[in-house]
C-alpha cells in the first residue's frame, strides 16, 4: 500500500470550511476540480479534501476558449450534479465572471450555488476590490474561498494566461490582496501562477491556508484541474500541471476497439445478449413478418 492509500483514503469525517481553515501549516490540503456526479465521486473516493466546481468547466467541459462565458445557471447545474457524487470532501462552487460585480449580485448568486447547487462554500476571484463582497457573503453565513495571482476572469487585462507577481512591487500587492480577503472573512485563498518566493511570503503573511496552483510547494495545499491531472484536456498543458494518467488516449483506444468490434460483429457477444425463454421459442418462430419495401 502506498503512503497515499494509508494517509488520505481512510478518512471518513465530513470536511467543512472550518476543517480546511484548521489545516493551516499542517497536513497539505488536497484539492481537485470536478464538474459532475462521476468526477465528484472519483475525486471524493481518492481522498481529496476539497472538490472545486471551477469555472474552468467553461474550457474543459463546455469547450469555450476561456472561462468568461460560463453562466450562473450552468454553474448551478454542474454543482448540483457534483454534490450528488461527493460524500466527504467540501464542495466549493466558483462564482462566474461578473456574477459578483456588486455585493447584491454576490449575495444572490452565491445563495443560488448553495441553495440550488448544494455547494457548501463558494469561490470568487480577486483581492482588495472584492473584500466587501467576501464580507457580505461571510456575514450571510456563506464560507468564501478567495483566489489571487493569475485570475483567469481577468485574462483580457493580463493579456493572456500569464504568471503574475513577478516583481517586488507585484508581490507586495498580492500580500495586500491576501490579507484583505482574510480580513473580510475568507477561509482560504488560492494562489495561481506566481513565483514560489511570492507564494512563500504570502503563506507566511496570512493565517488562512493558501492553496497553490503553479505557486510551488510552499503553500498549505494544492489544487489542479481534473482533466489536466488525468490527461483528458489536450488544447494546452500549463507548466504547473503534472499529468498523473493519460486517460484521454486510453479512452480513444477503448472506443476504437468498440468500433472495430461493432463493425466485425463480435460485439455484442453471447454475454451481452438476452434470449427468448425456451417455452416461448416455438411460438415466436411462428410469427410471420412482411419484409418492408425499400
Residues serving a catalytic function are: 192
Give the residue with the Cβ less far from ligand KIV, 101 or 168.
101
Q: Does 279 belong to an annotated binding site?
A: no
Q: How far is the CB of 118 from ligand KIV (least distance, A)?
A: 18
- Got the DSSP string for 152-221? GGGHHHHTSS-----SHHHHHHHHHHHHHHHHHT-SEEEEES--HHHHHHHHHH-SSPEEEESSTT-SSE
Q: How far is the CB of 247 from ligand KIV (least distance, A)?
A: 18
Q: Does 123 belong to an annotated binding site?
A: yes
Per the CB < 8 A criterion, the answer to whether 125 and 141 are in contact is no
Q: Are strands 121-125 and 90-94 parallel, antiparallel or unpaired?
A: parallel
Q: How far is the CB of 137 from ligand KIV (least distance, A)?
A: 17
Q: Does 125 belong to an annotated binding site?
A: yes
Residues at the contact surface with ligand KIV, assessed by CB under 6 A:
33, 52, 54-56, 94, 147, 190, 213, 223, 225
Give the residue with the Cβ less far from ligand KIV, 151 or 179.
151
Q: Is 189 exposed, middle or buried (0-12, 13-18, 19+ CB in 10 A)?
A: buried
Q: How far is the CB of 122 from ligand KIV (least distance, A)?
A: 12
**Residue 245 CA from chain centroid, whole number:** 17
Q: How far is the CB of 145 from ligand KIV (least distance, A)?
A: 9
Give the residue with the Cβ less far from ligand KIV, 98 or 257.
98
Show the cell assigned to 1.
500500500
Give the residue with the Cβ less far from ligand KIV, 6 or 242.
242
Per the CB < 8 A criterion, the answer to whether 58 and 70 are in contact is yes
Three-class secondary structure of residue 66 per DSSP = coil
Q: Does 110 belong to an annotated binding site?
A: no
Show the cell assigned to 187.
477561509
Rg value, the chain, Cα: 24
- Tell me which residue has its CB nearest to ligand KIV: 54
Give the residue with the Cβ less far from ligand KIV, 107 or 241.
241
Q: Does 44 belong to an annotated binding site?
A: no
Cα 68–Cα 73–Cα 78 angle in degrees, nearest 5: 90
Q: What are phi and psi of 124, to 5 degrees?
A: -140, 155
Question: Which residues contribute to the annotated binding site?
Answer: 55-56, 94, 123, 125
Question: Which residues contribute to the annotated binding site for Mg(2+)?
Answer: 55, 94, 125
Amino acid at each position: 500500500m502506498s503512503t497515499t492509500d494509508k494517509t488520505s483514503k481512510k478518512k471518513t469525517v465530513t470536511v467543512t470550511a472550518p476543517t480546511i481553515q484548521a489545516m493551516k501549516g499542517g497536513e497539505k490540503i488536497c484539492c481537485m476540480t470536478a464538474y459532475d456526479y462521476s468526477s465528484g465521486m472519483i475525486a471524493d473516493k481518492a481522498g481529496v479534501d476539497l472538490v472545486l466546481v471551477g469555472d474552468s468547466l467553461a474550457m474543459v467541459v463546455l469547450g469555450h476558449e476561456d472561462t468568461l462565458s460560463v453562466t450562473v445557471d450552468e454553474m448551478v447545474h454542474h454543482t448540483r450534479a457534483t454534490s450528488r457524487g461527493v460524500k466527504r470532501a467540501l464542495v466549493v462552487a466558483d462564482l462566474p465572471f461578473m456574477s459578483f460585480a456588486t455585493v447584491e449580485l454576490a449575495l444572490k448568486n452565491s445563495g443560488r450555488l448553495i441553495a440550488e447547487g448544494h455547494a457548501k462554500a463558494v469561490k470568487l476571484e480577486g483581492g482588495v476590490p472584492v473584500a466587501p463582497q467576501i464580507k457580505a457573503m461571510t456575514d450571510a453565513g456563506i464560507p468564501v474561498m478567495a483566489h489571487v495571482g493569475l485570475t483567469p476572469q481577468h485574462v483580457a487585462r493580463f493579456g493572456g494566461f500569464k504568471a503574475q507577481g513577478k516583481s517586488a512591487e507585484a508581490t507586495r500587492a498580492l500580500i495586500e490582496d491576501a490579507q484583505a480577503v482574510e480580513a473580510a472573512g475568507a477561509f482560504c485563498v488560492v494562489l495561481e501562477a506566481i513565483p514560489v518566493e511570492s507564494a512563500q511570503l504570502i503563506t507566511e503573511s496570512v493565517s488562512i491556508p493558501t492553496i497553490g496552483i503553479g505557486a510551488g510547494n510552499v503553500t498549505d495545499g494544492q489544487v489542479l484541474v481534473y482533466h489536466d491531472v488525468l490527461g483528458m484536456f489536450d488544447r494546452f498543458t500549463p507548466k504547473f500541471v503534472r499529468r498523473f494518467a493519460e486517460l484521454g488516449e486510453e479512452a480513444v483506444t477503448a472506443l476504437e476497439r468498440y468500433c472495430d468490434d461493432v463493425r466485425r460483429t463480435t460485439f455484442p457477444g453471447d454475454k451481452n445478449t438476452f434470449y427468448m425463454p425456451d417455452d416461448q421459442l416455438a411460438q415466436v418462430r411462428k410469427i410471420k413478418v412482411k419484409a418492408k419495401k425499400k
